Amino acid sequence: MKNGYYTGIDLFAGAGGFTLAAKEVGIHVKAAIEFDRHACETYRRNFIYGQENPPELIEDDINEVDPYKLLKLADMLPGECDVLMGGPPCQGFSTHRIKGAGVDDPRNTLIIKYFDFVKIIEPKVFVIENVSGLLWPRHADYLNKFLKLAKKSGYSVYGPTLLNAKDYGVPQNRERVFIIGISSSLPLKLDWPPQPTHYNPKSEEVKKDEKTAWINAKVVFKPLSKKDPNLNHMNHTERIIEVFKSTPKNGGSRLQSNRTLPCHENYRGHLDVYGRIDPRKPGPTITTGCINPSKGRFVHPTKNHGITIRHAARFQTFPDDFIFEGGLMASGRQIGNAVPIRLGVDVFNTVIQALDEYSPQINEVIIPEEKPVEVSV
């Protein structure tokens, strides 16, 4: 540990979900890269402006960033970074892609680009987060290439491991893949995966007095501050509002709203579209379209509109004082792309425990006893 904290670098930083989770466990992110200008505005507002010793943010396409430049901005040499983190854009690996879609998406190569930074930065630990679709056979070439590069470069790899955020205190059913790499040159032992902290209350395998039940979505809909700049939601047409009014509260679906679109007549898929959130259960997966009820079950449990930016952020366990910039849709994309804070904290805690147990041997410096100097008089 250096000066009371571990050091980190955040690739594909987005709005800063990984950075915030890292900060919670004592990892000081010294530099970050993000391309989206709205996400950069959010990152600066929450981590840079008015902050002491803030991260250096590079607003650029990671393909155009020199890893050595990043190290210089972070004031580090190769091998000095404790934790390199990042979630490469995952649209190409999304499970929403049907059949062979996404296989040749150029964004898939960014997981390999991530490793270009690993080779030069030489972190003690690297952490990657991505969607569950990364594990699909159609994407095996990208995943296997990354794993081979990691092992060839001297990293012990843990994962890929599928974790569900609802098992770690996040009020949301959200599966994500994590890959951890530990430098083989260090005697670090990682207790992986992190033990779930929450469980299905109907499960007979876990005693209720040992763990906490899954957190229901109702915690998201507690009173909001009227001063919150992220209170806005979509403005809907009168026709859509009438549809919402006819949808049963607390979990009603579009099939119960007496609304059938032409595309739905012979197709019963996407039943969550225009559905209300059921506050009695962990919420739906918060996607980049979470502000738009046409993209999923994103209608308020009792009110006749979609969820607000703050509701979406709460699903991702961002604190209420974390402000998103860029407007409604841009904020929704940032939130949907982020790592849930509480899940990130549990992942990083396993890393911190390993780093805490590692203490490199320091050679004791022996200062010889001074002998009195004989002075001739």
Where do we find the tokens 């969607």? 131
- Positions marked catalytic: 90
Point out the residues of the chain with pLDDT beneath 50. Answer: 2-3, 92-98, 100-103, 105, 361-377
pLDDT of residue 256: 75
Here the tokens at position 349 are: 């805690």
Here the tokens at position 151 are: 């092992």
At residue 112, φ and ψ (nearest 5 deg) are -75, -40
pLDDT of residue 253: 87
List all residues 6 or more positions away from 24 whose beta carbon is below 8 Å from its beta carbon: 341, 344, 345, 348
pLDDT of residue 245: 94
Torsion of CA 170, 176, 182, 183, to 10 degrees: -130
pLDDT of residue 98: 45
Radius of gyration of the chain (CA): 24
Question: In whole angstroms, what is the distance from residue 149 CA to residue 182 CA?
Answer: 13
Angle at Cα 93 formed by Cα 298 and Cα 12, nearest 5°?
A: 85
Query: What's the full length of the chain, in residues?
Result: 377
pLDDT of residue 259: 60
Here the tokens at position 216 are: 């229901």
pLDDT of residue 235: 96
The answer to whether the Cα torsion of 338, 341, 346, 352 is positive or negative is positive
Q: pLDDT tens, 283-322?
A: 999 999 999 999 999 999 999 999 999 999 999 999 999 9
- Reading phi first (left if > 0) and then psi (alpha if -120 to 50, else beta), residue 56 is in beta
Three-class SS state of 13: coil
Q: pLDDT tens, 60-103?
A: 999 999 999 999 999 999 999 999 999 887 554 444 444 544 44
Alpha helices by DSSP H, the chain:
17-24, 37-43, 67-73, 110-121, 140-152, 238-245, 309-315, 328-337, 341-357
Judge: domain 6-201+340-357, CATH 3.10.180.10: no
pLDDT of residue 38: 98
Question: In whole angstroms, what is the distance from residue 171 CA to residue 194 CA?
Answer: 18
pLDDT of residue 109: 81
Domain positions in the chain are 6-201+340-357
Angle between helical axes of 140-152 and 110-121 (0-180°, round to 10): 10
pLDDT of residue 297: 96
The Cα-based distances of 109 to 36, 69, 86, 141, 149 in angstroms read: 18, 21, 14, 10, 13
